[in-house]
Chain A
């Protein structure tokens, strides 16, 4: 069924089609229309789920953890401060190996208050043990939720997953979306089969005290292995989904005209759409540029980025967040995985923070800068803040 949906409506549809039995949610702009749409689905009898209207995001995640541990599929959604408030229990969800799926609408962290898009909220949770998939359009938002349940619930994975969309650019923007048939989704996902659960007939304790000589370290190691195993499961599930539902998702990195590109822009989220458009225009002028849009930040697509870097003369990494480390997160991790594999310059472009518009014109200027780095073979300034007030260079 074709419909015109916002990103948040698409997320609600993704959840509805996946049939979670318990939803616990707390409102935060710009996530609210996800949980409102789900409330309406339930109120109209279109969705059969228990809906816990919790008093905080911390409790939303805690309730999902407890419900999932009791043996049902769960779903929640949040954004920025809500995600930060969840931080403690995000670690609990992954440590407890509960395949919860959560939508996160990327929003800037205050102060000053900003409800607009910025990826610091999710980037700050990169070490929480959650799989992270970033989306580019509303179709991908819907599809990624369904795929995420299938991947996360595999008994060799059992890691929770964040399905991430940019605030407003996706969350509140309508586009045509193909809503898959419920029957097809049911066949694709199957019934939820918990690997373990709270059950009076088979009493067990979950999350008890452990001594340094106990298997704490082994539990973390198993999580690390599961995150590695997720690579092959993601590949399999995305291929299967493409086949069943007629999509064309690249599992980890969507490449656009990278094969012969001198300068490849590595991006994440909706910047990918704009950048691809700019690539077409620049290709017409004979400029050899390409885009690599990272979908999964966790697990990090190391092999894919190394392969892309092999044919390029330079890599420019665009981050819509800043981490106060050696550049921003996508840059730091990209550079880290390229070390020893590709001896080419890597430059970081930090832009669009707090929802500042990233226009085709700015992207084109960045590409030109990247091409000059590709030509010279050296990076003058490793971390470039693009589009600061009063900086004429990028306007």
Chain B
């Protein structure tokens, strides 16, 4: 018997977007809108998605969309929410949809404040792990070992050696009711999480890993495969934290070596065996810590 399809048929992302071939962020948006439906208002700062909907007057989305300055998504969704509530429109979903630079770096202050204030909003960080719209510059969310145009390697091997900033955990520390990670290779998981979150009043934060063929230096037809490998290698674990309780969505029985994930991407091609080993160790430690958090938070 076939497994029941959980991806809604409704489409709110129309044809004609201007994203690169194989763009993971575009797939992420499509699923988000399928899950949340038409009664949604989007707020998008400077990021790839400020360009993807198309050049004025074209627009590939059939939900209302407020473009904003780079660092203001948290404040913008707060303003939209409060205005809607003041007008008695409490049923409208308010969604901030921002890249990792606009979330982990320049927008972190406004995001933190919005989460702390407890507005009934979604904040979705589509994580392509660098400033891709400006041409692949390092962000706080760029993973360890990656090449970017501002960590270009060179004679001094100046790559991004610092660990990836863990924004989902920063959000957990805000004691908000819902935090989840997701990625485009697991749409049923992503949509189920969005639908669960929709039933929760308060701030909801999603970090959606969205491979970027242009910046990650991989062929466009590998986007979904890389997204899946990120989960199967524990590079990017899928989990949710509901009212402080962790629940890991997928626990790979035999996690694949991170090397399988790294070798498909040009941004990691320079890595030596030792460096790959260092990344593997970092991934293993993070995974162990996550398992512990799940165990501890589920204990009464």
How many whole Å from B176's CB to the nearest CB in chain A? Answer: 16
Most buried by B among A24, A53, A54, A204: A54
State whether B109 touches A209 (Cβ < 8 A).
no
State whether A59 touches B61 (Cβ < 8 A).
no
State whether A63 touches B64 (Cβ < 8 A).
no
State whether B41 touches A55 (Cβ < 8 A).
no
A92-B69, A200-B92 given as contacts; is B110 within 8 A of A49 (CB)?
no
How many whole Å from A20's CB to the nearest CB in chain B? Answer: 10
A50-B85, A209-B50 given as contacts; is B71 within 8 A of A58 (CB)?
yes
Question: Which residues of chain A from 289 to 344 have any CB-CB distance to chain B below 8 Å in the complex?
Answer: none
State whether B83 touches A67 (Cβ < 8 A).
yes
Residue pairs across A and B with CB atoms within 8 Å: the count is 151
A59-B72, A206-B66 given as contacts; is B41 within 8 A of A52 (CB)?
no
State whether A209 touches B55 (Cβ < 8 A).
yes
Band of interface residues on B: 35 or more
State whether A198 touches B78 (Cβ < 8 A).
no
State whether A205 touches B65 (Cβ < 8 A).
yes
Residues of B within 8 A of A64 (CB): 79
Query: A residues engaging B (CB < 8 A)?
Result: 21-22, 24, 49-50, 52-56, 58-60, 62-72, 74, 88-89, 92, 198-200, 202-211, 214-215
Residues of A within 8 A of B66 (CB): 66, 69, 198, 205-207
A58-B71, A58-B72, A63-B75 given as contacts; is B61 within 8 A of A205 (CB)?
yes
Listed by A's residue number, 24 A-B pairs whose Cβ atoms lie within 8 Å are: A22-B79, A54-B75, A54-B113, A59-B72, A59-B78, A62-B75, A63-B75, A69-B80, A70-B79, A71-B83, A72-B83, A89-B72, A198-B65, A200-B41, A203-B65, A205-B67, A206-B66, A207-B67, A208-B54, A208-B65, A208-B67, A209-B51, A209-B55, A214-B56
How many whole Å from B142's CB to the nearest CB in chain A? Answer: 25
Secondary structure class of chain B's binding surface, majority of residues:
mixed
- The answer to the question of B53 belonging to the interface, with a C-beta cut-off of 8 Å to chain A, is yes
- The answer to the question of B281 belonging to the interface, with a C-beta cut-off of 8 Å to chain A, is no
Residues of A within 8 A of B79 (CB): 22, 24, 52, 62-70, 74
Chain B 75-87 near chain A by CB (<8 Å), digits 1 or 0: 1111110111111
Residues of B within 8 A of A198 (CB): 41, 64-66, 80
State whether B83 touches A88 (Cβ < 8 A).
no
**Which residue on A lies nearest to B65, using beta carbons?**
A205
How many whole Å from B107's CB to the nearest CB in chain A? Answer: 10
Query: Nearest 8 A-B pairs (CB), nearest first?
Result: A66-B79, A55-B113, A59-B75, A62-B72, A70-B83, A63-B79, A207-B67, A67-B79
